[in-house]
A and B are shown apart, each in its own frame.
Chain A
Amino acid sequence: MKHLTLSEIIFLLAIWRLEDNAYGVTIKRQVTKDTGKTHTYGTLYSALDQLFKKGYVIKSAGPPTPERGGRSKIFYRLTTEGIKALKAARELQREIWKGIPEFSQDEV
């Protein structure tokens, strides 16, 4: 299996954290909160699209809401594939950081 990229990890974790409430607006906010970087919906959706194509997430439409101009929310949820990939990523992170001490201030 291919390794997840860092941004994939970020998005997947955001969706995981949001549990049942993961749709465009919330995912975007969550990612901003986690990383401090803002995404546009363009990049957000192309990233989500990639995750969907790779089978890490599934999409489902919710009921239409008035504040969205009568449009449905598209909810994202992790698949078991996605969870496996996250776990593998965490293992990998641990492996590759093994034996490297905390950086001290003046080393940066």
Chain B
Amino acid sequence: MIPEHPQPSSLALRILSRMAIHGEEYSPLGDLEEEYNEMAKVMGVDRARFWFWIQILKAIPAFTKLKIYWSIQMFKNYMKIALRNIKRHKGYSIINIFGLAVGITCCILIFLWVQDEFSYDKFHENGNNLYLVGTHQRLGSRTATSSGTPPALGPAFKEEYPEIVNSVRFCNGPHALIFAYGEKRLREYVEAVDGSLFEMFSFPLLRGNPKTALSKPHSLVMTERMAQKYFNMEDCLGKIIRVENKYDFEVTGVLKNLPHNSFLQFDCLVPIQFLKEHWNAPDHLNTWYNFSFTTFVQLSENASPQEVEEKTAGRINKAYPDDDVTPFLRPYTKLYLYGLGTGGGRITRVRMLSLIAVFVLLIACINFMNLTTARAANRAREIGMRKVTGALRWDIIKQFYGESILMAFLSLAFAVLLVILLLPAFNNLTGKELSFNPSHNLSMILGLLGATLLTGLIAGSYPALFMSSFQPVKIMRDTSGIGSKSSLFRKILVVLQFSISVALIIQTFVIFKQLNYMRSRDLGFNRDHLVYIPVNGSLQQHYEAAKQELQLVPGIAQVSLTSRTPLIFGSSGNGWEWEGKSPEIDPMIRYFCCDFDFVQTFEMEMVQGRFFSKERTPAASPQSGQLVINEEFARIIGSENPVGMRLSHGPYHGTVIGVINDFNYWPLYYRSGPLIIFYKTYNPSPGHHFYRYIFARIRPENVSQTIASIEKIYKKFNSEFPFTFRFLDDDYSRLYSSEEQAGEIFRYFAILAVLISCLGLFGLASFLTEQRTKEIGIRKVLGSSVQGIIFLLSKQFMKWVAVANIIALPIAWYLSYRWLQNYPYRTITGVWVFILTAALTLVIALLTVSYKSIKAARSNPVDSLRYE
């Protein structure tokens, strides 16, 4: 029995009505059902059903086309409305787009920087198998970690352990030497290395044979840049170049210029074998006790560094049992960013900046969301209108999402423009050569597009999801309550934004405070008006005569010869013995050599005893000598009066004749520990000296004349070398450039963060004030004063900023405390930093909102109440 009106399958009907534009589907649906009914009567229900399905399948392409057509029409309408909205509220739109664009710009710039940092040392073919051999030295309860290894270690490791396929040694020492060819006389940075360097590292040779380039002791491999400088790129192989006016080197290879993102940097290479001649010590390269070489090893493809570490753990102690030294492996590719793994390193800064980038972007996004949500309330009527004319909820959702995404992408486009404009300045600030090339940074582009889309989506969520659910009737009747519903959300956003700004401001203050502290800390000597020149060339034979002549220059107060400047790492050693020494401790002692006038020249003071003097200090001998120690060492010895004590080191016995005040003989990044000052030399061979610098304390008057006199004397004793001189305080001011840079960068970003936050606050304030126009009008009519209204309007914003300060201050305190822990000599954060920051943010916020509040408070109530 066939029912009177058999129904076609309901699934089929549903598919059909989904495909058709709503409202349009009635006609074709009706047609189909009519035909279906006729067929069902004539040929049976099954045939008719089959036919019905076929019809639907056939109809799909045409309906799809129709659907796309209408989508495009609606999309055009949405775009038009969006653009009209942007145009109509120019102020908001500019604040909104510009704010987000600045945030994105920051993010791109920092990302480029971070990417460059991470690109270091990625170009070596064997990169993943290259390791630095570092050493842990146990000193009593403490462990000192360094990159220093003895020279015999590299070859021994390669020979004795099958996992280690290759090794290369670098000699640490004075590297900038004078090179002369023809008329040219310049200082170049040279490294003494094993020839295996070319097998392990991917530093390709443009000319010369990498296998033999460093096989002769007097061969020299230079970079393209250096070859250009000396030989103008003519064929330089086989040319002879003179070094330090003492040695002749034959150029045997030209290196391709080192990439800027290489941890190892040098101008030229000489074979390590050359050092035998240079030091006049044929066996020196086979010793196990001089930890002044850097060794890199290459492990075989599948060797595990942990296993190799375990195997090699006792190797140094076996050959040199005097010390407790354990070698360890550190991946070469990690050296640049992570250092030796003892904390610190550039990675801290990379992390810090990345964090800032995220924060600034977050602030900008919050702004964007805040303004978008605030403004959406104004569009309640539009939503109502659309719903009345037949828009579904889904249409409204699409529209608002689309609009906020459009704004976000406008910001992105703007940001890209800003990046291109700002990149040169940013490169200047960071000292890098970054370039913005979207095709090379595909991952970044995708990330940015993603982030932009996400910002747009989150910002659009409030109007899209919340407001689309309103009943049109309600919206049309009364719009006042709509904005206030989201006010809690908005408050939280503003508080969060200002918290981040406060934290950034405090961190900036702390960095500058630490910088200032390091610059102005009493170093234990007077660093002003100290000029120094290197003792090199033939000056090494005539330093005494040169000193005497310098002392006669009227502009010079004192002259002293020293082994190093307070900013250059010197030698050190442990194994010193003294009476009453506890076997638990074996401190690493730094060495310093100078002549009689050191204390006067550096304006230091003797805490106990006396300093070396012409009358009472005999020439050094291999067995004995006089020593001056610093207060720190005196504390370690633990004796009330160390003067007269004997300190011994192997066969050598020294007598302490005085204790000098603790002075910072290292950059303030490092704690200046125990120190021994020797007269002239710590090397027990007679006639030897360790003078590398002549320091002169000059009088502040006629400095240029004094320098000219120094140059004349220098030239007289060493005509072969170019005259170079430095002011010690110049060195100091250059020393903290990394903190300065961090401070600069922080300052910029803190300013940016505050700026963006204020933009947001301004937008929000003007919006909220506008919403209360009528309220203000009525209040004024009822007798409220202008001040009263300004107070009323500004109060809530001040409250938010105050809350932000309360939240951010403890966090910022903790972060700055952690940061300062990196420095052995550190400033204290100080309460005033917090008070100042709180006051600053409150004042800035007040200024930002007061413009709008004053304007609103002073408006004539007639204007605001006229429209009803």
B58→A40 contact, CB < 8 A: yes
In the complex the two chains form, what is the Cα distance from A51 to B58 in whole Å?
A: 21
Q: Which residues of B contact A68 (CB under 8 A)?
A: 29-31, 33-34
Q: Which residues of B contact A66 (CB under 8 A)?
A: 5
Our pick among B7, B29, B58 for the contact of A42 (Cβ within 8 Å) is B58
Do A45 and B58 form a contact, CB below 8 Å, given A67-B33, A67-B34, A68-B33?
Answer: no
Of all chain B residues, the one with the shortest Cβ separation from A42 is B62
Do A71 and B33 form a contact, CB below 8 Å, given A40-B55, A40-B59?
Answer: yes
Q: Mark B27-63, 1 if CB is under 8 A from A, else 0.
A: 1111111110110000000000000000100111111
In the complex the two chains form, what is the Cα distance from A91 to B166 in whole Å?
A: 95
In the complex the two chains form, what is the Cα distance from A45 to B25 in whole Å?
A: 10
Q: Does A5 contact B (CB under 8 A)?
A: no
In the complex the two chains form, what is the Cα distance from A45 to B59 in whole Å?
A: 10
Q: Does B66 contact A (CB under 8 A)?
A: yes
Q: Does A101 contact B (CB under 8 A)?
A: no
Our count of residue pairs bridging A and B at CB distance below 8 angstroms stands at 70
In the complex the two chains form, what is the Cα distance from A66 to B32 in whole Å?
A: 13
Our pick among A24, A42, A65 for the contact of B27 (Cβ within 8 Å) is A24
Q: Mark A7-47, 1 if CB is under 8 A from B, else 0.
A: 00000000000000001110010000000000011111110
Within 40-95 of A, Cβ neighbours of B (below 8 Å) are at 40-46, 49, 65-69, 71-74
Q: Which of A25, A66, A69 has the most CB atoms of chain B within a 10 A radius of its CB?
A: A69
Q: Which residues of B contact A42 (CB under 8 A)?
A: 28, 58-63
Of all chain B residues, the one with the shortest Cβ separation from A40 is B58
Q: Which residues of B contact A41 (CB under 8 A)?
A: 28, 31-32, 55, 59
Interface residue count on the B side (C-beta < 8 Å): 24
- Which secondary structure dominates chain B's binding surface? helix
Q: Which residues of A contact B62 (CB under 8 A)?
A: 40, 42-43, 45-46
Q: Which residues of B contact A23 (CB under 8 A)?
A: 27, 31
- What is the CB-to-nearest-CB distance from A8 to chain B, in angstroms, rounded to a whole number? 16
B26→A46 contact, CB < 8 A: no
A73→B30 contact, CB < 8 A: yes
A25→B59 contact, CB < 8 A: no
Do A71 and B61 form a contact, CB below 8 Å, given A25-B35, A46-B66, A49-B66?
Answer: no
- What is the CB-to-nearest-CB distance from B340 to chain A, in angstroms, rounded to a whole number? 73
A24→B58 contact, CB < 8 A: no
Q: Does B88 contact A (CB under 8 A)?
A: no
Q: Which residues of A contact B38 (CB under 8 A)?
A: 67
Q: Mark B60-73, 1 if CB is under 8 A from A, else 0.
A: 11110110000000
Q: Which residues of A contact B63 (CB under 8 A)?
A: 42
B29→A45 contact, CB < 8 A: no
A72→B34 contact, CB < 8 A: no
A72→B66 contact, CB < 8 A: no
- What is the CB-to-nearest-CB distance from B72 to chain A, in angstroms, rounded to a whole number? 15
Q: Which residues of A contact B24 (CB under 8 A)?
A: 45
Q: Which residues of A contact B65 (CB under 8 A)?
A: 46
A71→B60 contact, CB < 8 A: no
Q: Which residues of B contact A46 (CB under 8 A)?
A: 62, 65-66
Do A74 and B59 form a contact, CB below 8 Å, given A23-B31, A24-B31, A67-B5?
Answer: no
> Which 5 A-B residue pairings sit nearest by Cβ, starting from the closest?
A42-B62, A24-B31, A71-B30, A42-B59, A68-B30
Other CB < 8 Å A-B pairs besides A45-B28, A46-B66, A68-B33, 6 of them?
A42-B28, A45-B66, A46-B62, A72-B27, A73-B31, A74-B26
Can you offer 5 A-B residue contacts whose CB atoms are under 8 A? A41-B28, A46-B66, A68-B33, A68-B34, A72-B27
